[in-house]
Amino acid sequence: MPEGALTITAIEMLRRLRRCLDGGQASYSKKTHQLLNEKCAEKSTVLPLYPETKRFLDLVPEVDPEKIGVEAFRQGFRELAKMLPKEKVEHVEDLRIPGTQCDLPARVYTPAMGKRAGGVVYFHGGGFVIGDVESYDPFCRALANASESVVISVDYRLAPEHKFPTAVNDAFDSVTWALKNTARFGITQGIAVAGDSAGGNLSAVSALKCRDEGLGLKAEVLVFPFTSFDVASRSSIEYGDSLFLTRKQGTWFGAQYLSRPEDALSPLFSPILNPNLSGLPPTLLVTAEYDPLRDQGEAYADMLAKAGVLVTSVRVRGVTHGFIALPGIGGDTCSMIGGYLKKTFQS
């Protein structure tokens, strides 16, 4: 795509998000409207979309990564994040984590008032292809304050430049480094892992690797996590074509990340396939009602509980995949996650 087209796309996305954040009135698409009406008629307990979600779906265009390319996709994601509000924290430090294969950029947030209940290693979402520390800066600031914990946001290497299992190795290196450097940041109540979407996947896999290596974590927080390829669940079928994250996009992300089809069967990619899910730390698993990943996330929560893990599973109604970054319900959910982490660190 010509450079001018990329610039226009980014500007248009910024304009649309600004209207969304300003509370501009918007109607969602006829396809989405029809789908939601059918679901509400089918099951009375299904809630309408939250206003923030309605505006987001209408104002942010559906992206076809095959047409715009990886760099344009990444650029648009970064530009959107620039428009989100940022909370003040006591201190922000950019550093590099020495990994087994390379040094990894990271950003460390000390919460306001200097409170440090624990440490949270956070892995951003983005299908293993997009996203970075900068684009998740607003959310990690909010999470640091809500959890009263030091948050370490990690720039793991992305596909397609770095295929599976590179991100897994980077994530585990980051967690082991954090466990060894708690004193440096004044962390006295342990380390938790957290992440959303692809980052939730890396958090889940890192927790399993820590268990296998005898490394203790205080908790794991998985927000609408990817736990396996899923084309058959109800949520994948019902919401895979119209509500923000599409089946086509999911397939594209997988093709960028995996080198071979058989990689999809590895527990390092599909943690739900791990034959032993016992011995994991207390887990908070958050799903979104209108998310194609909802059912696989809740299935993972069920399997953890059956394996004896202390699990809290929360389905947030009226929202889609990615809602955690939105004002309103996203902020409320961040506060809920923060409260969970504070209580877990203190236990």
Q: Rounded to an integer, what distance in angstroms lies between the CA atom of residue 106 and that of residue 83?
A: 21
Please name the residue that has the structure tokens 């504070």.
342
Of 197, 228, 233, 270, the active-site residue reads 197
Long-range contacts, 210-216 (Cβ 8 Å, 24+): 210/172, 210/175, 210/176, 211/279, 211/280, 213/176, 215/175, 215/176, 215/179, 216/190, 216/281
8 Å CB contact between 324 and 101: no
Which residues are paired to 92 by β-bridges?
Answer: 109
What distance in Å separates the CA atoms of residue 201 and residue 125, rounded to the nearest whole number?
9
Strand order in the sheet with 311-320: 91-98, 103-110, 150-154, 119-123, 191-196, 219-223, 283-290, 311-320
Angle at 156 between CA 230 and CA 346, to 5 degrees: 85
- Beta strand 150-154 with 283-290 is unpaired
Pick from 213, 155, 156: which is nearest to 179 by CA? 213
291 is catalytic: yes
Nearest to 320 by CA among 47, 131, 10, 12: 47
Hey, what are 230's tokens? 């899923």
Q: At what angle do helices 329-346 and 137-147 cross, to 10 degrees?
A: 50
- 242 an active-site residue? no
Which one from 155, 228, 270, 321 is the annotated catalytic residue?
Answer: 321
Answer yes or no: are the C-beta atoms of 330 and 339 closer than 8 Å.
no
Which is nearest to 245 in space by CA: 296, 300, 303, 302?
Answer: 296
DSSP letters, 80-127, are HHHTS-----SEEEEEEEE-SSSEEEEEEEEPGGG--S-EEEEE--ST
Query: Active-site residue 33, yes or no?
Result: no
Catalytic residue among 58, 137, 291, 295: 291
Opening angle at CA 187, ends 185 and 191, nearest 5: 115
The catalytic residues are 197, 291, 321
